[in-house]
Structure 1
């Protein structure tokens, strides 16, 4: 065989390692930011502080999150859902559609909501304060509310064997807001366990509606 003069074919560049490293770094920064926002509030938490505590540059934080509003929302999601993404992604991972027992579905969802609102609690006030000052954050919050409503519609569908009550989606929305939990916890002294018991009962009533004839 004659030796070929052709150059050896280049292997395609595999960027998966770099993407994985970038995602780990993004998640780390979001977790650090969640702690700092809870400790220092909206005004006391700067991009420079988050960058310093995370061991990265301010430029990287800005490039990754698009500014303080995007950073806060990533921190808020990190606090509530860990590394599972946003609300819709975390909810999808419950896989309620795979569970045939409605009571088990309800228990699974109540556990998910209770854990989420408890973890998000320290950042709810910061969110309100920041949204008052930052138009970009207000828009992100509005989008998050819309996403919450979409999940509530899915919940109403998944937790009934028939037709959900007319106001089910709006009632599920109200029941599962972090502000609802905080009102009961801070003003009425409720524990997460008491909230979970009430939430289960209230979700069942909201989705099923009043008994026939009432």
Structure 2
């Protein structure tokens, strides 16, 4: 008697498995970003994140390598992680392609608002964590260097004439996420009000105190 042929086995779909793992990793990072913002560095534990994300602590530890790695993934998920960091994201704007300095400034303000709003709550957490973890200290140094490089390029791209002597330093201060966070939390500013203020302030800082 002939036997029916065994059903063909499905080929192993490694790409689907990898995609599912990446989706889970991204979801855990987003949960961690929210919890770090709510509870701070010391108040956010791996167990808390794992419980909220419905995964095991072991999975979080294996996937992120500990609390510092989890925070770095959370920090990236809140803003620039998929765009290769601040400097790369800034270069992707290609502001130099627009001949109008004011149009360049408008586009930068929109870019800046898209960063400070989600990342502002995590900056203080990063600084707290950096006091305890060398990996986060390195992240802070890298972030400062990238921010300074962006400010130098921005001044060159939006200045009308010769920039003010302290333009780069003033732009650096104005565009820190902590500034937005302070205005939003303590003064009740909306992101729209912040954007209007930031544009006025950047133009004044770059062009010798001129206001528009």
Name the TM tier (shorter chain): 0.7 to 0.9
Corresponding residue SS for 2:78: helix
Contact 2:163 2:208 in 1 (8 A): yes
Q: Is 1:71 the equivalent of 2:64?
A: no
Distance (Å, rounded) in 2 between the aligned partners of 1:180 and 1:167 = 18
**What residue number does 1:134 align with?**
133
Do the aligned partners of residues 58 and 201 (structure 1) sit closer, same or farther apart at CA in structure 2, a change above 3 Å counting?
same
Contact 1:47 1:68 in 2 (8 A): yes
Distance (Å, rounded) in 2 between the aligned partners of 1:35 and 1:57 = 18
Corresponding residue SS for 1:123: helix
Distance (Å, rounded) in 1 between the aligned partners of 2:162 and 2:191 = 30
Structure 1 residues 1-214: aligned runs within 5 Å: 23-54=22-53, 58=57, 61-62=60-61, 64-81=63-80, 83-210=82-209
Instruction: Quote the offset at 1:23 in angstroms.
Output: 4.9
Deviation track 1:89-120 (CA, whole Å, cap 9, x = no partner) reads 32223221222222111111111212321212
Instruction: Quote the offset at 1:63 in angstroms.
Output: 5.2
Corresponding residue SS for 2:194: helix
User: In terms of mean alpha carbon deviation, does 53-62 or 172-181 score higher?
Assistant: 53-62
Deviation track 1:147-195 (CA, whole Å, cap 9, x = no partner) reads 1111111211222254432222111110000111122223333222221
Deviation track 1:63-95 (CA, whole Å, cap 9, x = no partner) reads 554432232133123213474342223222322
**What residue number does 2:3 align with?**
none
Gaps of 5+ in 1: 1-14
Contact 1:78 1:85 in 2 (8 A): no
Q: What is the RMSD of the two structures over their aligned residues, measured on CA atoms?
A: 3.0
Instruction: Quote the offset at 1:26 in angstroms.
Output: 4.1
Contact 1:27 1:83 in 2 (8 A): no
**What residue number does 1:4 align with?**
none
User: In terms of mean alpha carbon deviation, does 161-170 or 54-63 score higher?
Assistant: 54-63
User: In terms of mean alpha carbon deviation, does 163-172 or 61-70 score higher?
Assistant: 61-70
TM-score normalised to the size of structure 2?
A: 0.76
Contact 2:164 2:205 in 1 (8 A): yes
- The number of equivalent residue pairs is 199
Corresponding residue SS for 1:100: coil
Contact 1:106 1:200 in 2 (8 A): yes
User: In terms of mean alpha carbon deviation, does 174-183 or 62-71 score higher?
Assistant: 62-71
